[in-house]
Amino acid sequence: MLKNSHEKLKNYINLYFSLYEMQFIPTLGCALIDRGKILVVPLMLGLAAFFSIWYLLVQMETLENIFALTFNVNITISSVQSIVTFLTINVMSKEKLLKALVFFDDIADTKVEHLTKSREKYLTKNLKIAWKIVRLYIIGILSGSLIFMVIGILQTNYTSPLYYRIPGIPSNSIWMRPLNIIVQTVLFYIYSGCIVNMDCLILSYLFYFRGELYAINAIAEMLCNKEENSKEILVTIYTAHRRILHEFSEIYNLLWHFYCQKLFAVSLYLCSGFFVFARINQSISIGVLLQSFIVCQLIILCMPGQLTDNCSEKLRGTLYMNFWYEMKLEDQKNLLMLMIGAQRNIQAKTIGIGRVSVYTLVQVIKTAISYALFIYAVLL
């Protein structure tokens, strides 16, 4: 069961790198082309941002369609943020992520006394949860995003799903509608896919760490059993905990930058989305739908950080609440060193937020409301 669950997430992670780095394109023997494949997706995201900015600065004549304004502002923000995050993950941190994946391979295959059974139970459970969330999130967001394109097509008389017209195509050309619809649909799903899959990639890694922490905690609970060999248990906990701390420290900087970029962008999404409620005349359903998608992404970002932090707290509590006074002096010393090491929580942090948790969701929403009220009072 553990290997099957691990293989599903491992294949998804490898597919992410293969798909977004265009590794499926065969090597042509030209260094410029072979190395430049990784820049295809950032260039497509840059093109999406350019078209949205062009609409906002040149093609948009009035502010009457506040939804079109908000939608293209969000596309611009998310495209730029996705470029930065793509470079952070796929260029700067790819080797560290793949190295961590090798570590996950090892813990899924290695047989360790006591730990193997707990991993089979707790790590498998967490990987199954992660796989379900990944599938639901990808299918839900990408299929639900179709609603916004339908709204755009209806409001532009079946011309432009994203409201803008591609520069350089005459309005009376027979190619105007098909090119706008096809190109905009492709760009929209490229940038939507980038946003969703980057979130799912980090979520998968955090659930790996969460599952391993729960497995270690299950071993720590055995210290309360007087019949167990406390020395062997302490060595097992120490070795496993040191390894997972080391692997997490390798990707800690990636998580710091990832959450900084994502949470800042989400706060801007929410801020611009509130203007739909402020200016819309007919129905608030579109505004509610838009904000629901953003809040859903925010929950996906914050939830794994909270769950992983809870595991660290639980492990620390388990180590404190055991029969240490019945151990040998040497085992008590080892337990003390282990308790000191357990003070290092496995938790995602970033600038301005600190620890990423459920409270981060409230912080980001409060920040977005404050920005929106300020802009509304000053500019409108």
Q: Is the pLDDT of residue 323 over 70?
A: no
Percent of the chain whose predicted confidence (pLDDT) is above 70:
95
Give residue for tokens 């992404």: 297
272 vs 324, higher pLDDT? 272
At residue 324 the predicted structure's pLDDT band, cuts being 50, 70 and 90, is low
User: Which residues neighbour 183 within 8 Å (Cβ) at sequence distance 6 or greater?
Assistant: 166
Each residue's pLDDT tens digit, 59-91: 888 777 778 888 889 999 999 999 999 999 999
At residue 35 the predicted structure's pLDDT band, cuts being 50, 70 and 90, is confident
Predicted pLDDT at 51: 93
Each residue's pLDDT tens digit, 103-121: 999 988 888 777 888 888 9
- Rounded to an integer, the average pLDDT of 231-245 is 87
Cα–Cα distances (Å) from 282 to 66, 67, 149, in that order, read 11, 11, 19
Average pLDDT, the chain: 86
Give yes or no for a contact between 315 and 217, defined as CB atoms under 8 angstroms apart: yes
Q: Is the pLDDT of residue 204 over 90?
A: yes
Give yes or no for a contact between 235 and 332, defined as CB atoms under 8 angstroms apart: no
Predicted pLDDT at 361: 87
- Rounded to an integer, the average pLDDT of 236-254 is 90
Q: Is the pLDDT of residue 242 over 80?
A: yes
Q: Is the pLDDT of residue 282 over 60?
A: no
Lowest mean pLDDT among 102-111, 127-136, 220-229, 284-293: 220-229
Question: What's the whole-model pTM score?
Answer: 0.92
63 vs 314, higher pLDDT? 314
Candidate ranges 63-67, 241-245, 330-334, 374-378; pick with highest mean pLDDT? 241-245
Give residue for tokens 């302490």: 234
Q: Is the pLDDT of residue 273 over 60?
A: yes
E-only strand ranges, the chain: 349-350, 354-355
Predicted pLDDT at 137: 93
The region, left, alpha or beta by phi > 0 then psi within -120 to 50, assigned to residue 25 is: beta
Q: Is the pLDDT of residue 283 over 90?
A: no
Give yes or no for a contact between 226 and 327, defined as CB atoms under 8 angstroms apart: no
Each residue's pLDDT tens digit, 9-20: 999 999 999 988
Determine the 3-state secondary structure of 344 from DSSP: coil
Predicted pLDDT at 145: 82
Spell out a b/e string for 279-291, using b for 16 or more CB atoms within 10 Å of the CB, else e.
bbeeeeebbeebb
- The gap from C-alpha 62 to its chain's centroid, in whole angstroms, comes to 35
